[in-house]
Chain A
């Protein structure tokens, strides 16, 4: 095996192996578990950094493991893959820190961290997939390994959420599988195309079938990407512990859906064919509707996590909208939002988890004056919330700027209107939280959940949101630097739309 092939396997293995070992660790081995997790997470980040450097300088990393005749498990680090891999790796590291602090003293931690690592492995597998077979393979591993995390608390409510989750995503998978195999029956085995589509050589007589397959595939991926009306599982899944909501339901699982849609449009059909078929038009309409609908529903939620969940529903469709508007600028906006939204939303979930864990605050209406008690947490929340409203100079503004330009470029002024309306709605449901936290006085004592610390809460809980909030600022301020996701995304867009 060459070094080029070993790297994708190592990136996969750095979370898979610790995960498998952790399953067999007895519950009291807290130290061993933490070490394994942290070592895996740090190694993964280092490996990904190496891969970024390599790919930037033109190296290719690819490995194929035979699995079914003609359909190997193909792992490949192309720029789009690395975008998602880096996001997952960095946020996994931070979430691991957070989760260790969050779960201190609670039962079933080996099971939790075992499945958590499996989820992360599946996510990077999805990111690195070089063909549809591999993508589907890891997509389903993710589906299955997420279930035990959703029902982790084993209450009636969480079991119910687990059932809803499965009902939605499993149906989506069945549709996806059918569509993928159908496409292969038409086109034979193929890999993701580097530029253009992989199936755009098919004859015109196949067009109706191709449109059907496109819609089925996007529909299948759309369940995880929480496109309306397939979004219901996401707010229900908020009963999961905070680290799960933070990493999986703000980043890994939902992004897997959005990423699948991006792959389908860019590397399976090719943007041009997807547009000609009329598929992206349908997709853009659904995404636009989801953006507005999600925001409106978020407005009505008093439960903080549910408000964030509906906000995720809305924000994810920014990515889908960017992909479906078809054009270099919209592509840049959509793909960079894949990273930006992930970092902003994980900050919000970390902060919400801190409020719940430290002071037992779950509802927006309970947050009066919490800014004095937990200033760092609320500061992080505020930064991320302003990012979500696309306030300059934060990360969200960068995404929205390019999405807006893309809407104009793609002759879709309605999309610009949708984006502006959504920003206003974002302000309408985030500002009350910020306002209550900082400017309303608290009546009565706090319900202290944790032993008092010198800091406002457990340091392992506080550090991650502060770091990610810093990233939200940095990604906005230094968007033009060589190392920013924006630069990377420009690279991808240049590949998809050669000038």
Chain B
């Protein structure tokens, strides 16, 4: 394929939402249409990238003609494309949901959602494509600003509080990360991940990791996530919980996989944090009284699983652990977005999201109830779901490398997820009238995402094989 076309294809996922985000606020009507058109363009570009992917090497683009070690290098390897594509599917569905749901449920928000949502999407895609630590820093900052904007949209005191905490933690995280970047540059003279491979100083690695953990709400730096995610409007929460927090994990993965392959103690420490996240996040999810908070704490817990990949993937990236972790991130993204959208419907239908008072949902909004249940299957890691496939791979890696302790964490986490999921489902049974009968179309969109999370457990063989083959 010619270079020019390739460059356009690489630039499109970033440029399209960015451009739309700039134009949409200027439009008086047709805002949602413009946003959706840009979104559809991103999905198409991601699919094309996947289709023309060269299995032997990643497609690259030196933005503005700047080349490494100090330039802006974008590259689309399979890991990046996987995240691009899953984010595109989730974001487009969420955008459709917003276009259908918000005008009726929260008319005041309907017009104001698009700009932050599109900026967020653009920043995410830029992050996936970036290949050096400083560009990653820039995209992370853009991402944070867009995310904070999303949280503040509701404008209530609670939302502003949540957003403020998020902003402060994220800025602190960025500072620490940037310090790490400076150390890395000082020691190696490059910011490019591939060029710095194997030569990253321990202090730089530690600082960057801590900064990313704060950004990604990874235990024990997760405290800001639940209030922020629960306060955002449903489409916002869905994107934040499903994809935004995983961007930090994505960078961690690249950092530890590519740049620092031999750091053992640190890997154990990361997985220990993951264990804390699984146990503590699940326990807190169990005790929540509000649905959105429960779902948000479940995100804290599920992010913990991802950290287990670091010790489990030791020695062989082509082993099951790496593919499993990526697949878990993808499936969890689909399921979590479905859950938050469903929670939005619940909010709208009942006027609140108190778990003890969900009665009547099973009768009057069965699709939403089923969505919560199906998404729950992925969270529990039970078949048939992407979560199960991923868990099977991670468990295989745990037993295969003799680290059965991490297997216990995976199994215990699944049980805890079952307890909090079924708590919600059990509460929905029984006869009671709803405050408002929710519309059908948005409910089916959330259902589609939950179904996609299940399908990820049925059509996983090919992508998993390719992920293993193309492991960095």
Which of A's residues lie within 8 Å of B, judged by CB? 66-69, 71-72, 108, 111, 133, 136-138, 140-141, 143-144, 147, 151, 154, 159, 162-163, 166, 170-171, 173-175, 177-178, 181-182, 184-185
Nearest B residue (CB) for A107: B363
Can you give 23 contacting A-B residue pairs, CB < 8 Å?
A66-B462, A69-B320, A69-B468, A133-B392, A136-B383, A137-B388, A140-B382, A143-B382, A144-B377, A144-B382, A147-B422, A170-B415, A170-B418, A173-B382, A174-B412, A174-B414, A177-B391, A178-B408, A181-B395, A181-B398, A181-B407, A182-B407, A184-B396
A185/B400 in contact, CB under 8 A: yes
Nearest A residue (CB) for B401: A185
Interface mask (B439-472 → A, CB under 8 Å = 1, otherwise 0): 0000000000000000001101110110010000
Partner of B426, one of A66, A159, A178: A159
Nearest B residue (CB) for A134: B383
A69/B464 in contact, CB under 8 A: yes
Query: In the complex, which residues of chain A have a beta carbon less than 8 angstroms from the beta carbon of B426?
Result: 151, 159, 162-163
Shortest distance in angstroms between B244's beta carbon and chain A's nearest beta carbon? 28
Alpha-carbon separation in the docked complex, A92 to B217 (Å): 49
Alpha-carbon separation in the docked complex, A171 to B380 (Å): 12
State whether the Cβ of B404 lies closer than 8 Å to any Cβ in chain A: yes
Alpha-carbon separation in the docked complex, A162 to B422 (Å): 10
Q: Majority SS of interface residues in chain A? A: helix
User: With A144-B382, A163-B422 given, is the CB distance from A71 to B392 under 8 Å?
Assistant: yes
A141/B399 in contact, CB under 8 A: no
Number of B residues whose C-beta is below 8 Å from A? 40
Alpha-carbon separation in the docked complex, A218 to B384 (Å): 23
Query: In the complex, which residues of chain A have a beta carbon less than 8 angstroms from the beta carbon of B392?
Result: 68, 71, 133, 181
B418/A185 in contact, CB under 8 A: no
User: With A140-B383, A174-B411, A178-B407 given, is the CB distance from A166 to B396 under 8 Å?
Assistant: no
Shortest distance in angstroms between A395's beta carbon and chain B's nearest beta carbon? 34
Nearest B residue (CB) for A154: B429
Query: In the complex, which residues of chain B have a beta carbon less than 8 angstroms from the beta carbon of A67?
Result: 389, 457-458, 460-461
Shortest distance in angstroms between A50's beta carbon and chain B's nearest beta carbon? 27
Alpha-carbon separation in the docked complex, A72 to B468 (Å): 17
State whether the Cβ of B393 lies closer than 8 Å to any Cβ in chain A: yes
B395/A171 in contact, CB under 8 A: no
Shortest distance in angstroms between A347's beta carbon and chain B's nearest beta carbon? 31
A166/B422 in contact, CB under 8 A: yes
A181/B429 in contact, CB under 8 A: no
Nearest A residue (CB) for B462: A66
Shortest distance in angstroms between B445's beta carbon and chain A's nearest beta carbon? 16
Closest 10 CB pairs between A and B?
Answer: A185-B399, A66-B461, A181-B395, A154-B429, A137-B383, A174-B411, A185-B400, A140-B382, A182-B399, A140-B383
Interface mask (B83-100 → A, CB under 8 Å = 1, otherwise 0): 000000000000000000
Q: Which residues of B in the span 387-445 have a Cβ within 8 Å of any Cβ on A? A: 388-389, 391-393, 395-396, 398-400, 404, 407-408, 411-412, 414-415, 418, 422, 426, 429-431
Alpha-carbon separation in the docked complex, A71 to B389 (Å): 10
Query: In the complex, which residues of chain B have a beta carbon less than 8 angstroms from the beta carbon of A141?
Result: 383-384
B384/A177 in contact, CB under 8 A: no
Further contacts, 15 of them, CB under 8 A, given A69-B464, A108-B363: A71-B392, A72-B461, A133-B392, A138-B383, A141-B383, A143-B382, A162-B426, A171-B415, A174-B415, A177-B391, A178-B395, A178-B408, A181-B396, A181-B407, A182-B399
Alpha-carbon separation in the docked complex, A67 to B430 (Å): 37
B429/A177 in contact, CB under 8 A: no
Q: Which residues of B in the span 347-378 have a Cβ within 8 Å of any Cβ on A? A: 362-363, 366, 377
Query: In the complex, which residues of chain B have a beta carbon less than 8 angstroms from the beta carbon of A170?
Result: 415, 418
B465/A69 in contact, CB under 8 A: yes
Alpha-carbon separation in the docked complex, A71 to B462 (Å): 12
Query: In the complex, which residues of chain B have a beta carbon less than 8 angstroms from the beta carbon of A184?
Result: 396, 399
Query: In the complex, which residues of chain B have a beta carbon less than 8 angstroms from the beta carbon of A166?
Result: 418, 422
Alpha-carbon separation in the docked complex, A151 to B411 (Å): 25
Query: In the complex, which residues of chain B have a beta carbon less than 8 angstroms from the beta carbon of A185?
Result: 396, 399-400
User: With A67-B460, A68-B389, A185-B400 given, is the CB distance from A159 to B429 under 8 Å?
Assistant: yes
Query: In the complex, which residues of chain A have a beta carbon less than 8 angstroms from the beta carbon of B400?
Result: 185
Alpha-carbon separation in the docked complex, A143 to B399 (Å): 25
